[in-house]
């Protein structure tokens, strides 16, 4: 048996790089080619057009009779007889190196800033490998973002994946840029390397991020992977994978703390749906493929910390909820994978509150282990829980007030209304260059809560009330 194995291997090695002239079908980004040798699943393909331009592709489906290849750089201009396909016999690999920080690449990892291609001895498979759960280090280091509503109520932890659920026209880019600028670990002089993946966003938004990184002087610590709105949509499928491959190298091989910003994940999902539809797959919800969950998980789970590695990957994916609908498959499946979410609220935005973070649906799952004594402040956990409870009651009172009018509310309910306004205006609202430390954020929260009578604060202990209430 061993003998056949070896023959098989030699046979496969010999066929590496074999080229075919002419293909049989081109449908959108997918090329079908018949009568090839035995091509491996997910193998890298170079697709060469008449002008000798090389485009990269990947095998999606392989059988004895036909092979389906998706071409990342689009198929426009290709002809059936004139296209050459070269099968590389290995998956898509990109070179990774720490010198890639400060550079700009396209979705496939080729430089587009005019510089030379990165030189590195290390090439990595962009698909990555699943992390063994026993090798993970549980993230518990508090990242101070300087934004009250995040630090106090939806704490970001180093190694967490915390998406921003936004909508069109909401200031998610400002918030992401502000987090990238201000994120620090307390008592430690760390700076984050930033890997930025642009998925189908507009040129001026990419520009905004670059300018923002430049003005805060961190541009040399940022690697940008740009697949903009006018690039072929299929390229977006590979862009986050390329970006994360570099992030993994920086974190686990070079020991850096990496912040990965991916925007906009909705565009990624759209591309996935496009491919799926062309292939005639059975759709699940809203035409998205049944494997959308697994596919997104492959990306989001490439974050965290690993035992014995000093680095970490913190993910900050941004997605715009189609029609502001949080139950749409994209935000819904994302929420099931990520460790919490920061949800934007259009109503708060139109009332001029920045960041317009909706208090109640936002959540950080890793918060419980990163806050409290020795990490932030001893009263933090109870205070956060109380803010959620009281703010949730404010929503009920507001609903009531909209039916019966403010005048008819009880005295207590009026206090709640006042608390709600103060909470939104003073605690949530801040300037987009305002960097509050955690003590300041917690103190403002206490000032807001002190509007309510102490017996309403059922989630806070007597000692904490004595120390902070009304101060």
Partner 1 sequence: MEERSIGLVKRVNGPVIEADGITDGMMMELVRVSEARLIGEIIKLSGNNAIIQVYEDTTGVAPGDIIYGSGLPLSVELGPGLIGTIYDGIQRPLEKLAEISGSHIKRGIQSPSIDREKLWNYTPAINDGDFISPGTVLGTVQESDRILHKILCPPDLSGTVNSVLNPGSYTVDTVIAKINDGSTVKDLTMIHRWPIRKPRPVASRIPLRIPLITGQRVIDTLFPLAKGGTVAIPGGFGTGKTMTQHAIAKWCDADIIVYIGCGERGNEMTDVLNEFPKLVDPRTGSSLMERTLLIANTSNMPVSAREASIYTGVTLAEYYRDQGYHVAVMADSTSRWAEALRELSGRMEEMPAEEGFPAYLPTRIAEFYERAGFMKTLNEEEGSVTLIGAVSPPGGDFSEPVTQHTKRFVRCFWGLDRHLANARHYPAISWLESYSEYLDEVSPWWAERAGDNWFRNRSRIMELLQREIKLQQVVKLVGPDALPDSQRFVIEICTLFKNAFLQQSAFDKNDCYSTVEKQLRMMDIILKYAELGENSIRKGTTLVNLRRIKVLQDIVKMKLTVPNDDLSLLDRIEARLERSIEKL
Least distance from partner 1 to the Cβ atom of residue 189, Å: 26
The answer to whether residue 129 forms part of the interface with partner 1 (CB under 8 A) is: yes
Among 32, 131, 210, 417, the residue binding partner 1 under the rule CB under 8 A is: 131
d(CA 26, CA 48): 14
Among 186, 307, 351, 425, the residue binding partner 1 under the rule CB under 8 A is: 307
| Helix H or strand E segment including 66 | strand 66-71
The answer to whether residue 93 forms part of the interface with partner 1 (CB under 8 A) is: no
Q: What is the DSSP letter of 35?
A: S
| Helix H or strand E segment including 466 | helix 462-468
Residues of span 256-295 touching partner 1 by CB under 8 A:
281-285, 289-291, 293-294
Residues of span 31-50 touching partner 1 by CB under 8 A:
38-43
d(CA 27, CA 335): 33
Among 28, 74, 82, 91, the residue binding partner 1 under the rule CB under 8 A is: 91
- HSE, CB side, 13 Å, CA atoms: give it for residue 155: 31
The answer to whether residue 336 forms part of the interface with partner 1 (CB under 8 A) is: yes
Least distance from partner 1 to the Cβ atom of residue 14, Å: 13
The answer to whether residue 385 forms part of the interface with partner 1 (CB under 8 A) is: yes
Residues of span 71-90 touching partner 1 by CB under 8 A:
90
For tokens 């749906």, the residue is 273
CB 444 within 8 A of CB 425: no
CB 18 within 8 A of CB 38: no
CB 428 within 8 A of CB 360: no
The answer to whether residue 135 forms part of the interface with partner 1 (CB under 8 A) is: yes
| Helix H or strand E segment including 443 | helix 438-449
The answer to whether residue 238 forms part of the interface with partner 1 (CB under 8 A) is: no
The answer to whether residue 4 forms part of the interface with partner 1 (CB under 8 A) is: yes
Among 308, 347, 352, 431, the residue binding partner 1 under the rule CB under 8 A is: 308
Stretch that binds partner 1, among 23-31, 216-224, 339-347, 416-424 (CB under 8 A): 339-347
Among 146, 329, 356, 370, the residue binding partner 1 under the rule CB under 8 A is: 329
The answer to whether residue 9 forms part of the interface with partner 1 (CB under 8 A) is: yes
The answer to whether residue 119 forms part of the interface with partner 1 (CB under 8 A) is: no
Q: What is the DSSP string of 379-435?
A: THHHHHHHHHHHHHHHHHHHHHHHHH-GGGS-HHHHHHHHHHHHIIIIII---TT--
Least distance from partner 1 to the Cβ atom of residue 366, Å: 7
The answer to whether residue 10 forms part of the interface with partner 1 (CB under 8 A) is: no
The answer to whether residue 171 forms part of the interface with partner 1 (CB under 8 A) is: no
The answer to whether residue 409 forms part of the interface with partner 1 (CB under 8 A) is: yes
Q: Helical H runs in 249-345?
A: 265-278, 292-300, 329-337
């Amino acid at each position: 048996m061993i003998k056949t194995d070896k023959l098989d291997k030699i046979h496969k090695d010999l066929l590496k790089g074999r080229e075919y002239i002419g293909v049989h079908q081109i449908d959108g980004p997918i090329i079908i080619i018949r009568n090839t040798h035995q091509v491996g699943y997910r193998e890298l393909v170079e697709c060469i057009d008449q002008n000798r331009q090389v485009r990269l592709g990947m095998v999606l489906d392989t059988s004895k009779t036909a092979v389906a290849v998706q071409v990342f750089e689009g198929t426009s201009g290709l002809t059936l007889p004139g296209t050459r396909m070269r099968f590389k016999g290995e998956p898509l690999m990109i070179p990774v190196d720490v010198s890639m920080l400060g550079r700009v690449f396209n979705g496939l990892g080729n430089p587009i800033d005019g510089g030379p291609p990165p030189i590195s001895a290390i090439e990595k498979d962009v698909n990555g490998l699943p992390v063994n759960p026993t090798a993970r280090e549980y993230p518990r280091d508090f990242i101070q973002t300087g934004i009250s509503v995040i630090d106090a109520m939806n704490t970001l932890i180093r190694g967490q994946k915390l998406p921003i659920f936004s909508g069109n026209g909401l200031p998610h880019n400002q918030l992401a840029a502000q987090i990238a600028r201000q994120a620090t670990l307390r008592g430690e002089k760390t700076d984050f390397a930033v890997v930025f993946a642009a998925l189908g966003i507009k040129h001026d938004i990419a520009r905004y991020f670059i300018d923002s990184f430049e003005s805060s002087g961190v541009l040399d610590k940022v690697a940008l992977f740009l697949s903009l709105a006018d690039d072929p949509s299929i390229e977006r499928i590979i862009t986050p994978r390329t970006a994360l491959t570099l992030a993994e190298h920086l974190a686990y091989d070079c020991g850096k703390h990496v912040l990965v910003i991916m925007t906009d994940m909705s565009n990624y999902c759209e591309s996935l749906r496009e491919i799926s539809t062309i292939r005639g797959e059975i759709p699940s919800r809203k035409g998205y493929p049944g494997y959308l969950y697994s596919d997104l998980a492959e990306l989001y789970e490439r974050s965290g910390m690993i035992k014995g590695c000093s680095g970490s990957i913190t993910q900050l994916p941004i997605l715009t909820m189609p029609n502001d609908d949080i139950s749409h498959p994209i935000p819904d499946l994302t929420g099931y994978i990520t460790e919490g979410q920061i949800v934007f609220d259009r109503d708060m935005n139109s009332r001029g509150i920045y960041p317009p973070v909706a208090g109640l649906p936002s959540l950080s799952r890793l918060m419980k282990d990163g806050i409290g004594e020795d990490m932030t402040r001893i009263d933090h956990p109870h205070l956060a829980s109380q803010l959620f409870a009281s703010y949730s009651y404010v929503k009920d009172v507001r609903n009531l007030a909209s039916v019966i009018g403010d005048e008819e509310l009880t005295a207590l309910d009026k206090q709640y209304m006042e608390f709600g306004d103060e909470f939104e205006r003073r605690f949530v609202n801040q300037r987009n260059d305002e960097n509050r430390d955690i003590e300041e954020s917690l103190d403002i929260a206490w000032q807001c809560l002190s509007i309510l009578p102490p017996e309403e604060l059922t989630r806070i202990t007597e000692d904490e009330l004595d120390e902070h209430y009304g101060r």
